[in-house]
């Protein structure tokens, strides 16, 4: 129907007869002439209707916001003084000759450029209007481009796009699995996959060598700003490659994406062992845009009287660390109180601090509620270790290791953001050498990644000292977000059995949950490994948005009233009968 | 780890030192030398181990089928007389120098080249082994290529890849929907989509202009040879294009696929109205590879005494048709009995026939149990209308129109296959001008496509005579299979309301099921339309396979014992409690 997209018209089209289709973005009546700003997915063009052409003028006059029209006309340069340099089509306009109203619109619940004046709920309820906003169009087009670029890259590197099932076998242990009752097998259920992990490993056992998929995954959890119950994963697995090769090929992909789609060279990604990341940044996904680091001071604190510090300093599972904030002495009491509140989220019982006012005066130059408990010698030794300077503030954490690392690690980023301390726009890295296991609260062990991750030691070493064992896992981190994670998998059945044994998973449970994989490992499984990227997260980062609802066309919402397609609904008694299920009464 | 894929080695690699990884396809001990046929996804290469290199020789000797190994060696030409012209790598072999056994394998339940000797159930239970068969590798790689080619084509034509949700809102009317109980909204359910229809129309209302998706769809039905409960659809929708343009752009895509991936030029697809397809071929997806056509003979039969023919001939809802099979007079009584059985599947109460033995003798030259009831004049008039010749057989159907068309339409293809009458390998066409509605058994109306399909008439004409109204739908048919189907959609709210009204869908039900779309039509919906292709079907056709299980990596199976990942499983009481559901006792 159209000859051009509205947004594509430029000076070189002047004089051409063209046909446009699109939405009336704005209608203005100015000096006896009607101006329609016509919008399609490529942008806006101004169309002018003169009273000379009575029919089209009258129709144009009757147009309202969001009417859908077809316009035939001629492109002409805008009269001097009316050129709009802010619009890509601002040098031209179209003299409208014929107008067809293809569809009318009721007055929309909000104008596209006034969307901020209505609540998100209204916009979600009228999602088809909200999606017309140029920013939303832009983000979803960008998402399409990213997916395309990833697919091309994987294809060029010999990865096959193989679909894995959405309806999987449910198991009694599948917490957070969505369950789907089967009509055919009464009383039996499918489960929606949290990831295609099992299947991609089977594809390696089947010899496909290189696999990828843009895969839908599911987790039955409450909504969060950055999490939806269904999400999209770039899922990759390959045989006969080691971790260096897998990190290499996927790092190259992400760098290519940023370079080609955003013109940004991320540079080579540094590697950092998990232990170093926890030590220096209190996080397994450190945000390296901020230069501040956690510094351990337990050795300086162990002998003081003050139990708040001395206790954790002497506890093998404790940690005492300091975070120096350059220029932070300016922080007000109110802000420090807010930070104290903030670290309490992570379990910290308080937030000790020292302001460095006049270091040349020694301990007298320090302002702090705690210096008197530390003593001058310890306080000055800490200042020296931190390389503190006048104008700095130092925060302290002293507690169980996990609490201190998490609390100061999070504070580090919060202060960094508040004081605008980022030293670069993008800070990627690989975190490697993760522990195989971590202790659970009840003293058991749990896999830090998942039970298919290969250790970097022998089965004997693993059994002898599981908490010391490192895994062959790797996480790609960008600006403090985990973009992707993966590992070399166990391809040997004995090793897999050892790991499950250490995790206390019974043979029966193992057989029930992973039996198909365990069996497959008996029949010639190749060495293999892989990685998964969260696509939603990647797009959020690349487009600089905090809300996952801005990068998904039809997100789920909390309220079922909000958007009828996007929340669960009611079903009939007959449907339930057919599925052989009853609803319980709410207790 | 590898320097080359096994299947990639050729004469030009002779003299090179290479590293291969793969599976031991076969191990032979011949003349004091060990031969391993090493297999990876690209093919097989023969590796030779001499006793001179004791270590690798001993290891090679210990290898068994499906062991995973890494081999370092040198490519050399095969000795004269041992070149294997049937193998792409048959001119060379690798002299093995180092061998590492990466993983052992238990004796596999079947050898890859002996898969036909075990039942499909064994192969499905060990799917990871079955998928190693070169034919399965080939089919799934082909599928990946087709998907890639489709994505590139859509991308080049400005279609955006936009993901639509898998978890949709359930409605009380959603028969055949898979239901997913929500943990968060107690007693409420999501439904898995039978297609993204609603969402793609909303994307058009949202102004995305051109959308496509390789979309997973779901239907809770029993398995069939060509149908799985989850299937993949190439889903396409566009605004501001008419049916000619949509058919043009998608026909070009399918032609390009066949040309580039199979070297086949399908030619331009002819168009055929639905009524003509039913008339001439008894099917809305006629297989045009076979030349035979149904010929109506009701007018010749109306006045005869024989009620079996005269009844339907006089019934306005009846049909009497003949199918002439050239050369069919050779068919034995036994085969004709089988065909009689065959048409009974479609409700035909019998299968009358006339063999044309010696037409020059007039009615005497016809052999048939029914000629005596027809009379000589009518019999010869039929022969004349059919252009019958000696050696032909003519089959007859006389019943309700639907039964006759379906029965003779199916017989036409069966006979065509049996007698190998195909005149070409590929016969594509578009079927167009479908009726909007068809009558249901209880006298109501149902939409032939779906209730969003636009009619080619005004709302007034539609209401006045709904059964006469044609729709703007189109189906792409290839070799008697419906490859894809679509339509121009209703973009006008009044028209949509008329159609729902004619279908007897109450306002409440309409609001419940489609309210979101009906609302969207009020706010500037553009003219739009689209199409969906069944990807599984397309791959089956292109690879010449009859079983959908050959084109899907992990198909569902009937028996839950068959393949643990591929059938529904049991869940725990705690899981059900959390979902607020109870299992009913089987009645």
The CATH number of whichever domain residue A374 belongs to comes to 3.30.1360.30
Boundary (domain end) residue, out of A388, A423, A458: A423
* pLDDT higher than threshold 80 for residue B413: yes
**Residue B507 structural domain:** 137-272+429-566
Alpha-carbon gap, residue A36 to B575, rounded angstroms: 58
CB contact under 8 A, B163 and A552: yes
- Same domain flag for A443 and A540: yes
Q: How far is A502 from chain B (nearest CA, A)?
A: 22
* pLDDT higher than threshold 90 for residue B239: yes
Q: Which of residues 530-559 of B touch A (CB under 8 A)?
A: 552-554, 556
Dump pLDDT digits (tens) for B465-477: 999 999 999 999 9
Contact B124, B562 (CB under 8 A): yes
pLDDT of residue A148: 96
- Same domain flag for B416 and B433: no
Comparing C-alpha atoms, which of A255, A174, A266 is closest to residue A218?
A: A174
pLDDT of residue B565: 56
**How many other β-carbons are positioned within 10 Å of the β-carbon of residue A265?**
10
Q: What is the mean pLDDT of residues A499-520?
A: 87
Burial zone of B264 (CB within 10 Å; 0-12 exposed, 13-18 middle, 19+ buried): middle
Boundary (domain end) residue, out of B55, B83, B103: B103
Contact B565, A511 (CB under 8 A): no
Show the tokens assigned to A124. Answer: 């979600």
Least confident of A53-62, A93-102, A122-131, A137-146: A122-131
Q: What is the mean pLDDT of residues A191-202?
A: 94
Dump pLDDT digits (tens) for A335-360: 999 999 999 999 999 999 999 999 99
Burial zone of B464 (CB within 10 Å; 0-12 exposed, 13-18 middle, 19+ buried): exposed
pLDDT of residue A577: 81
Q: Is residue A42 one of the residues assigned to a domain?
A: yes
B58 or B515: which carries more pLDDT confidence?
Answer: B58
- Same domain flag for A368 and A253: no
Residues 6 or more apart from A528 whose CB is under 8 A from it? A201, A204, A237, A238, A239, A240, A241, A488, A489, A491
pLDDT of residue A448: 87
- Same domain flag for B67 and B19: yes
Using pLDDT thresholds of 50, 70 and 90, give the confidence band for residue B183. confident
Q: Is residue B177 one of the residues assigned to a domain?
A: yes
Q: What is the mean pLDDT of residues B206-214?
A: 98
Contact A351, A288 (CB under 8 A): no
Residue A308 vs residues A396, A534, B393: alpha-carbon distances, Å:
11, 41, 102
* pLDDT higher than threshold 50 for residue B561: no
How do B481-488 and B473-478 pair as beta strands?
A: antiparallel
* pLDDT higher than threshold 60 for residue B564: no
Nearest to A240 among B21, B129, B564 (CB): B21
- Helix H or strand E encompassing B573: helix B573-578
* pLDDT higher than threshold 50 for residue B562: no
Per CB-CB distance under 8 Å, the chain B contacts of A566 are: 165, 169
Is A41 labelled a binding residue? no
pLDDT of residue B319: 97
Q: CB of A229 within 8 Å of any CB in chain B?
A: yes
Show the tokens assigned to B142. Answer: 């082909």
Q: Is residue A576 one of the residues assigned to a domain?
A: no
Percent of chain A clearing pLDDT 70 (strictly above) = 98
Alpha-carbon gap, residue B251 to B257, rounded angstroms: 10
Mutate to test the interface with B, among A3, A18, A129, A180 (most CBs of B within 10 A): A180
Q: Is residue B114 one of the residues assigned to a domain?
A: no
* pLDDT higher than threshold 70 for residue A9: yes
Using pLDDT thresholds of 50, 70 and 90, give the confidence band for residue A454. very high
pLDDT of residue B323: 98
Alpha-carbon gap, residue A563 to A182, rounded angstroms: 27
* pLDDT higher than threshold 80 for residue A565: no
- The backbone region for B580, taken as left when phi is positive above 0, alpha when psi lies in -120 to 50, beta otherwise, is left
Closest residue, chain B, to A238 (C-alpha): B1
Say how many domains are in chain B.
3
Q: CB of A290 within 8 Å of any CB in chain B?
A: no
Residues 6 or more apart from A12 whose CB is under 8 A from it? none
pLDDT of residue A170: 85
Residue A417 vs residues A115, A290, A292, B320, B388: alpha-carbon distances, Å:
27, 8, 12, 82, 89
- Looking at residue B584, the DSSP 8-state letter turns out to be P
Q: What's the number of CA atoms in the CB half-sphere (13 Å) around residue B196?
A: 32
pLDDT of residue B511: 83
Alpha-carbon gap, residue B339 to B325, rounded angstroms: 13
Contact B226, B514 (CB under 8 A): no
A51 or A565: which carries more pLDDT confidence?
Answer: A51
Q: What is the mean pLDDT of residues A4-28?
A: 96
Boundary (domain end) residue, out of B404, B423, B442: B423
Alpha-carbon gap, residue A127 to B205, rounded angstroms: 10
**Backbone φ, ψ for residue A582 (5° rounding):** -120, 150
Dump pLDDT digits (tens) for A281-324: 999 999 999 999 999 999 999 889 899 999 999 999 999 999 99
Identify the sign of the CA torsion B518, B521, B523, B529. Answer: positive
- Looking at residue B472, the DSSP 8-state letter turns out to be S
CB contact under 8 A, A218 and B167: yes
- Same domain flag for A169 and A264: yes
Show the tokens assigned to B208. Answer: 């995305």
Residues 6 or more apart from B420 whose CB is under 8 A from it? none
Q: How far is A527 from chain B (nearest CA, A)?
A: 7
Contact A150, A232 (CB under 8 A): no
Least confident of A153-157, A368-372, B126-130, B180-184: B180-184
Q: What angle do CA B551, B557, B561 make, to 5 degrees?
A: 140
Per CB-CB distance under 8 Å, the chain A contacts of B570 are: 170-172, 187-189
Closest residue, chain B, to A567 (C-alpha): B169
- Same domain flag for B463 and B551: yes
Alpha-carbon gap, residue B493 to A104, rounded angstroms: 10
Using pLDDT thresholds of 50, 70 and 90, give the confidence band for residue A369. very high
- Same domain flag for A438 and A461: yes
Q: Is residue A243 one of the residues assigned to a domain?
A: yes
- Same domain flag for A191 and A66: no
Task: Identify the CATH number of the domain in which residue A261 sits.
Answer: 3.30.930.10
Q: What is the mean pLDDT of residues B375-396?
A: 96
- Same domain flag for A181 and A305: no
B95 three-class SS: strand
**How many other β-carbons are positioned within 10 Å of the β-carbon of residue A321?**
25
Per CB-CB distance under 8 Å, the chain A contacts of B148 are: 151, 155, 161
Comparing C-alpha atoms, which of A531, A241, A236, A457 is closest to residue B70?
A: A241
Residues 6 or more apart from A302 whose CB is under 8 A from it? A310, A313, A314
Comparing C-alpha atoms, which of A207, A206, A219, A119 is closest to residue A178?
A: A219
B248 or B494: which carries more pLDDT confidence?
Answer: B248
Closest residue, chain B, to A133 (C-alpha): B206
Contact B106, A523 (CB under 8 A): yes
Alpha-carbon gap, residue B41 to B22, rounded angstroms: 8
Mutate to test the interface with A, among B129, B141, B571, B586 (most CBs of A within 10 A): B571
Residues 6 or more apart from B231 whose CB is under 8 A from it? B216, B217, B218, B219, B534, B535, B536
Is A221 labelled a binding residue? yes
A113 or B416: which carries more pLDDT confidence?
Answer: B416
Least confident of A577-581, B344-348, B375-379, B465-469: A577-581
Show the tokens assigned to B69. Answer: 């190994």
Q: What is the mean pLDDT of residues A171-199?
A: 86
Q: CB of A506 within 8 Å of any CB in chain B?
A: no
Per CB-CB distance under 8 Å, the chain B contacts of A554 are: 164-165, 199, 202
Q: Is residue A124 one of the residues assigned to a domain?
A: no
Q: What angle do CA B310, B315, B319 make, to 5 degrees?
A: 75
Dump pLDDT digits (tens) for A107-126: 999 988 887 788 888 888 89
Q: What angle do CA B575, B577, B581 make, to 5 degrees?
A: 105
Q: Is residue B195 one of the residues assigned to a domain?
A: yes
- Within B347-445, where are the H helices? 371-374, 376-386, 401-418
User: What does pLDDT average to over chain A?
Assistant: 93
- Same domain flag for B408 and B324: yes
Residue A321 vs residues A169, A226, A331, A398, B505: alpha-carbon distances, Å:
47, 30, 20, 7, 68
Is A188 labelled a binding residue? no
Task: Provide the residue count of chain A.
Answer: 587
**How many other β-carbons are positioned within 10 Å of the β-carbon of residue A561?**
10
Q: CB of B187 within 8 Å of any CB in chain A?
A: yes
Using pLDDT thresholds of 50, 70 and 90, give the confidence band for residue A587. low
Task: Identify the CATH number of the domain in which residue B41 sits.
Answer: 2.40.50.140
- Looking at residue A90, the DSSP 8-state letter turns out to be T
- Same domain flag for B84 and B142: no
| DSSP states of A188-248 | -EEE--S-SHHHHHHHHHTT--EEEEEEEEE-----BTTB-SEEEEEEEEEES--HHHHHH
Q: Is residue A579 one of the residues assigned to a domain?
A: no
Least confident of A162-176, B273-287, B522-536: A162-176
Q: What is the mean pLDDT of residues A172-201?
A: 87
* pLDDT higher than threshold 70 for residue A559: no
- Burial of B130-157, coded b for 16+ CB within 10 Å and e otherwise, reads bbbbbebbebbbbbbbbbbebbbbbbee
Using pLDDT thresholds of 50, 70 and 90, give the confidence band for residue A31. confident
Per CB-CB distance under 8 Å, the chain B contacts of A161 are: 144, 147-148
CA B472 to chain CA mean position, Å: 23
CB contact under 8 A, A165 and B554: yes
pLDDT of residue A182: 85
Percent of chain B clearing pLDDT 90 (strictly above) = 79
pLDDT of residue A3: 96
Using pLDDT thresholds of 50, 70 and 90, give the confidence band for residue B300. very high
**Residue ranges of E strands in B50-122:** 68-77, 92-103
Radius of gyration of chain B (CA): 30
**How many other β-carbons are positioned within 10 Å of the β-carbon of residue B353?**
22
Q: How far is B63 from chain A (nearest CA, A)?
A: 11
Percent of chain B clearing pLDDT 70 (strictly above) = 98
Using pLDDT thresholds of 50, 70 and 90, give the confidence band for residue B559. low
Nearest to A581 among B108, B491, B581 (CB): B581
Burial zone of A114 (CB within 10 Å; 0-12 exposed, 13-18 middle, 19+ buried): exposed
Alpha-carbon gap, residue A283 to A427, rounded angstroms: 15
Alpha-carbon gap, residue A47 to A69, rounded angstroms: 11
B216 three-class SS: strand
Q: What is the mean pLDDT of residues B175-198?
A: 88
pLDDT of residue B169: 86
Please name the residue that has the structure tokens 């099992």: A198
Q: CB of A563 within 8 Å of any CB in chain B?
A: yes
- Same domain flag for B299 and B327: yes
- Helix H or strand E encompassing A381: helix A376-386
């Amino acid at each position: 129907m159209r000859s051009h997209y509205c947004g594509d018209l430029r000076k070189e089209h002047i004089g051409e007869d063209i046909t446009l289709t699109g939405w009336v973005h704005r209608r203005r009546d100015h000096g006896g002439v009607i101006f329609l700003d016509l919008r399609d997915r490529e942008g806006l063009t101004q169309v002018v209707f003169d009273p000379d052409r009575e029919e089209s003028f009258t129709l144009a006059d009757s147009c309202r916001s969001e009417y859908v029209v077809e316009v035939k006309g001629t492109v002409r340069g805008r009269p001097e003084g009316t050129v709009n340099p802010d619009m890509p089509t601002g040098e031209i306009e179209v003299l409208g000759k014929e107008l067809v109203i293809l569809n009318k619109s009721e007055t929309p619940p909000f104008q596209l450029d006034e969307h901020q004046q209505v609540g998100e709920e209204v916009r979600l309820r009228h999602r088809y209007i909200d999606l017309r906003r140029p920013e939303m169009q832009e983000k979803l087009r960008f998402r399409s481009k990213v997916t395309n670029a990833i697919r091309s890259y994987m294809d060029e590197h010999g990865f096959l796009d193989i679909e894995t099932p959405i309806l999987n076998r449910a198991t009694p242990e599948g917490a957070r699995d969505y369950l789907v009752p089967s009509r055919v097998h009464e009383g039996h259920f499918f489960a929606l996959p949290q990831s295609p992990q099992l299947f991609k490993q089977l594809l390696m056992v089947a010899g496909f060598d290189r696999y990828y998929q843009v895969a839908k995954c599911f987790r039955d959890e409450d909504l969060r700003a950055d999490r939806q119950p269904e999400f999209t994963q770039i899922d990759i697995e390959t045989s006969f490659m080691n971790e260096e090769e897998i990190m290499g090929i996927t790092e190259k992909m992400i760098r290519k994406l940023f370079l080609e789609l955003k013109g940004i060279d991320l540079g080579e990604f540094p590697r950092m062992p998990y232990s170093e990341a926890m030590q220096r940044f209190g996080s397994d996904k450190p945000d390296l845009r901020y230069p501040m680091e956690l510094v351990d001071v337990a050795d300086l604190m162990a002998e003081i009287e003050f139990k708040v510090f001395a206790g954790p300093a002497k506890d093998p599972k404790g940690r005492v660390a300091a975070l120096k904030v350059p220029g932070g002495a300016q922080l007000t009491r109110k802000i420090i109180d807010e930070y104290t509140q903030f670290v309490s989220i992570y379990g910290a019982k308080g937030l000790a601090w020292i302001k460095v006012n006049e270091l040349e005066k020694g301990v007298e130059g320090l302002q702090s509620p705690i210096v008197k408990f530390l003593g001058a010698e310890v306080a000055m030794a800490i200042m020296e270790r931190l390389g503190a300077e006048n104008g700095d503030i130092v925060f302290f954490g002293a507690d169980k290791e996990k609490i201190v690392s998490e609390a100061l690690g999070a504070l580090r980023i919060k202060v960094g953001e508040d004081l605008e301390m980022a030293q670069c726009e993008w800070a990627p890295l690989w975190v490697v050498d993760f522990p195989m296991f971590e202790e659970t609260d009840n003293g058991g062990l749990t896999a830090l990644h998942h039970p298919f991750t290969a250790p970097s030691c022998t089965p004997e070493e693993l059994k002898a000292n599981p908490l010391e064992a490192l895994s062959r896992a790797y996480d790609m981190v960008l600006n403090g977000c985990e973009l992707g994670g993966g590992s070399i998998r166990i391809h040997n059945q004995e090793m897999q059995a050892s790991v499950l044994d250490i995790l206390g998973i019974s043979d029966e449970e193992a057989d029930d949950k992973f039996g198909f994989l365990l069996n497959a490992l008996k029949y010639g499984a190749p060495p293999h490994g892989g990685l998964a990227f969260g696509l939603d997260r990647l797009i959020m980062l690349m487009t600089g948005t905090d809300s996952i609802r801005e990068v998904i066309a039809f997100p789920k919402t909390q309220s079922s009233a909000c958007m009828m397609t996007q929340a669960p609904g009611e079903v009939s008694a007959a449907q339930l009968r057919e599925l052989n299920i009853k609803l319980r009464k709410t207790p």
